[in-house]
Structure 1
């Protein structure tokens, strides 16, 4: 049996949950993510979503899938995996389409950065695609450094890599895990 850590989030009905990829609450978000990737890029997204084995997203090096639950239902999530000894790579950051424009992705980023820092990582790496301007805007707004020419046509750049040095901080309302 896998243990699930839950801590209260900023609102009484918003909970942060750390779960394995196999948790059934993950499926709806990954299904919607796959649909959106397929719609935006015109390909079957299954290969991209399943490219990394689940074990890469488990402790001690990889990083647990984090879900934000609202009234018990998943509304946003993300994960990280080991990129190198000092760097975590963020993957699958997602907000359910019915819950966008509420700052949930920003909250997921902050939680993932905190968890990666707690596991000893000092830098974050991530990539997004050229047809995801919302993600690009989020990463720029939250202090990520683009490793590509942001003035270039996004389609000519291809994958959009970003990085960020971690500053260890305590999240507001974050309970210390024992």
Structure 2
């Protein structure tokens, strides 16, 4: 199996399977918490203009296997020294094979190359696989882990790209209160 990594934009046809699948995934996972989960998922995916995920301040990659989009992700500028990961996704039949880890690693490399010192992200409380991925790739939880995840709703994480494992450089990203439903 040979994965091809493509630098793309959200508007490229190769991105469409990723965005369509993310919409279904978000709507399905949060259906019982949002009566309008399909509309909410759709709104989330168009919340940011595509150009935010393009160099020099962002990036968007797609992973292709045998001509099919099987994963991808993006980042955009969060602040002058911080990139924010968004839209990390792996097709269901490719999960637990290192694809998501590869996506995160590729995005971190691009972020460092573009001058970012750290990464910030949020994931939903109904996405334990994503939380596990971030913990296993050196991300620091920026929320009170003693509070039930559903109280937070969105779970923020951060990572110092120049000194992985350093956490004091993330202090200004820490949330003082749970990130409840928007």
Aligned to 1:118: 113
Distance of 1:113 and 1:82 partners within structure 2: 13
Q: 1:137 aligns with which of 127, 132, 136?
A: 132
CA RMSD of the aligned region, Å? 1.2
Hey, what's the Cα distance between the residues in 2 that align with 1:92 and 1:16? 15
Residues 1:80 and 2:75 are matched in the alignment: yes
Please identify which structure carries the higher helix content: 2
Q: 1:3 — aligned with what? A: none
**1:108 paired to 2:99:** no
Q: Secondary structure at the match of 1:26?
A: helix
CA distance in 2, matches of 1:159, 1:55: 24
CA deviations 1:52-80 (Å, max 9, x no partner) are 011101111122x1011112211110000
User: What is the CA-CA distance between 1:151 and the residue it aligns to?
Assistant: 2.9
Give TM-score scaled by structure 2 length: 0.83
Q: Which 4+ residue blocks in structure 1 deviate beyond 6 angstroms?
A: none
- For structure 2, which runs of at least 5 residues remain unmatched after alignment? 32-36, 164-182
- Rounded to whole Å, the distance in 2 between the matches of 1:46 and 1:82 is 22
Whether 1:30 aligns to 2:19 is yes
Q: Which residue of structure 1 lines up, in the alignment, with residue 160 of structure 2? A: 165
Pair 1:62 & 2:58 matched: yes
Give the TM-score of the pair, scaled to structure 1: 0.85
Aligned length: 156
Ranked by relative contact order (alpha carbons within 8 Å, sequence separation 6 or more), the top structure is 1
